[in-house]
Amino acid sequence: MALREPPALRARLHDYDEGRCRGRLRNLACLTNATISITRCQPEFRYEPEANRHFAARVQEALDLLLVPPRG
C-alpha cells in the first residue's frame, strides 16, 4: 500500500509550483521586453528577427549590449 499525501498538502505544493512558474515567466517577459527595447535602438536592424539572428550568432556582443551601461 502506497503512502498518499494529504489533499491540503498537495494543494499547497501545487500552488507553490504555480507561483514559481509564474515568477519565472514574469522574469523571462521582462528580459524579453528589455532586449526588444535595446535592439530597437540599434540603427543597423530594421526588424526583430534580423536582430535575433545577429545576436544569436554573437553571444558575447549581445551580453555586452545588455550588461554594459550606455555611454553618454
8-54 pLDDT tens trace: 666 666 666 666 667 677 777 787 788 788 888 888 888 888 888 88
Which 8-state DSSP code applies to residue 41? T
How far, in whole angstroms, is CA 46 from its chain's centroid? 23
Amino acid identity of 48?
A: E
Dihedral over Cα of 24, 29, 30, 31: its sign: positive
Alpha helices by DSSP H, listed for the chain, are: 7-40, 48-57, 59-67
pLDDT tier for residue 5 given thresholds of 50, 70 and 90:
low
Give the integer Cα–Cα distance in Å for 65 and 61. Answer: 6
